[in-house]
Amino acid sequence: MIEVSPPDADILAATRHWLTRAVIGLNLCPFAKGVHVKRQIRYAISRAASLEAALTDLESELRRLEAADPDEIDTTLVIFPNTFDDFLDYNDALWFADRLLQQLRLEGTLQIASFHPRYQFDGAGPDDIENYTNRAPYPILHLLREASIERAADAFPDAADIYERNQATMRRLGHAGWRDWMAQRDADEGNEENEENEGNKEAK
């Protein structure tokens, strides 16, 4: 059977739903709401089907973010619907992503965070609810500006406690609560899907 990847609109809708319901709705990242409301998030879909092609797209997005005006693009979600389905392969790819960051001399300027549909923390079981703090509908590399992280940390003095707070949030929800929460839609999701901006395009 040939697996057909979903169209871009469906990928963007699923990613935005996860962002608004999980990341913002559960306050998993208190920094996310501001850039979301200001539409400073770039959603870049990579159709890469190999590690090499994925790294090529990643390099393009790292360079684009570094060169962009932060008021236009503050952060980028690089979405990989066609590769890194296996979490172990994805985890291995993170090493190459970090090495690429070093080769481009962007350490200290940009940072890469990771999300995956089967994300699993070290020492956690595959079904542990705590894993869902980093689970997304598709494999994603989140590109962030170090300067933005520092400003956000200054604005949120308890930023160091985010990890523990998120784990506690997931334990309170449980698997059934998570499913119920994610089954709901936010009122503005439909509007977002109809308001594509120039920044939200497939990675080339």
With CA atoms as reference, report the closest residue to 20 among 7, 32, 8: 32
- Look at the chain and report how many structural domains it folds into: 1
pLDDT of 53 over the 70 cut: yes
**Residue 202 included in any domain:** no
**Residue 1 included in any domain:** no
**Residue 204 included in any domain:** no
- Tokens representing 202 are 């497939």
| pLDDT mean over 161-168 | 92
- Cα 24 from Cα 7, distance rounded (Å): 25
Residue range 62-74, pLDDT digits in tens: 999 999 999 999 9
**Residue 199 included in any domain:** no
What pLDDT score does 2 carry? 46
Residue range 6-24, pLDDT digits in tens: 899 999 999 999 999 999 9
**Residue 2 included in any domain:** no
| pLDDT mean over 89-97 | 97
**Residue 3 included in any domain:** no
**Residue 200 included in any domain:** no
- Cα 178 from Cα 27, distance rounded (Å): 14
Q: Label residue 55 by pLDDT band (50, 70, 90).
A: very high
CB contact at 8 A, 81 and 137 = no
Domain coverage including residue 186: 8-193
* Phi, psi at 75, each rounded to 5°: -155, 155
**Residue 198 included in any domain:** no
Residue the block writes with tokens 């400073």: 40
Model confidence, pTM:
0.89
Residues in the chain: 204
